Amino acid sequence: MNHKKQIKTPLDDAVVWQLRAGDEVLISGKVLTGRDQAHKRLCERIAQGGPLPVELAGMLIYFVGPTPAAPGQVIGAAGPTTSSRMDAFTPQLLAQGLKGTIGKGYRGQSVRDALVKNRAVHFSALGGAGALLSKHIIKSQIVAYEDLGTEAIRLLEFEDFPVVVAYDCRGNSVYGKEKNRTPVT
């Protein structure tokens, strides 16, 4: 029988340290969402020295642009977006206290280095399973950048959201040795 680790957000260094590449994890608690444009805006605020519209310390960001919710549902399909699209922004957000990200696919070397430096983790969620994954989201609220529509920053609440540790804080990866990978856009 395969044992899945259960964790609850917000995360701290001790929890992140226990996670290893390849671990199957069930996440419960509050998680932010964000995609390209939201990440860009957050990093612009950091560069300007202004306050961020959300607290990043201890949080996870799920790379998702959910579909609209059907009547009686909390959220529509909520499958992961390609992680490498956020690579240019992730190191800056990790430096602000973000403890992890959730997406699909490879991460660049600068992100992998930042995960080690900031004791953070990257999880992979199952691509193509947005309808199934949405059943593990019990609350959803837009908290910033509403003008971005489906890509606005939301505060979600997860209940046993299934992921795999793709990159841990020790520099290990489920992908093995990664050399000269071309990011998928």
Task: Give pLDDT tens digits for 103-152.
Answer: 999 999 999 999 999 999 999 998 888 899 999 999 999 999 999 999 99
Separation of alpha carbons 159 and 152, rounded Å: 21
Is position 175 within any domain?
no
Is position 115 within any domain?
yes
* pLDDT for residue 178 is more than 80: no
Is position 122 within any domain?
yes
Is position 176 within any domain?
no
Is position 83 within any domain?
yes
Give pTM, 2 decimals: 0.92
Per-residue pLDDT averaged across 35-56, rounded? 96
Separation of alpha carbons 7 and 74, rounded Å: 22
Separation of alpha carbons 21 and 170, rounded Å: 9
Is position 61 within any domain?
yes
- Domain with 72, as residue range(s), is 5-167
Burial class (CB in 10 A: 0-12, 13-18, 19+), 169: buried
* pLDDT for residue 25 is more than 80: yes
Residue 136: which CATH number?
3.20.130.10
Q: What is the maximal distance between C-alpha atoms in the chain?
A: 50
pLDDT given at position 180: 41
Beta carbons of 120 and 16 less than 8 angstroms apart = yes
Is position 48 within any domain?
yes
Is position 118 within any domain?
yes
Give the contacts of 144 (CB within 8 A, at least 6 positions apart): 38, 53, 54, 152, 153
Domain count, the chain: 1
Separation of alpha carbons 73 and 111, rounded Å: 34
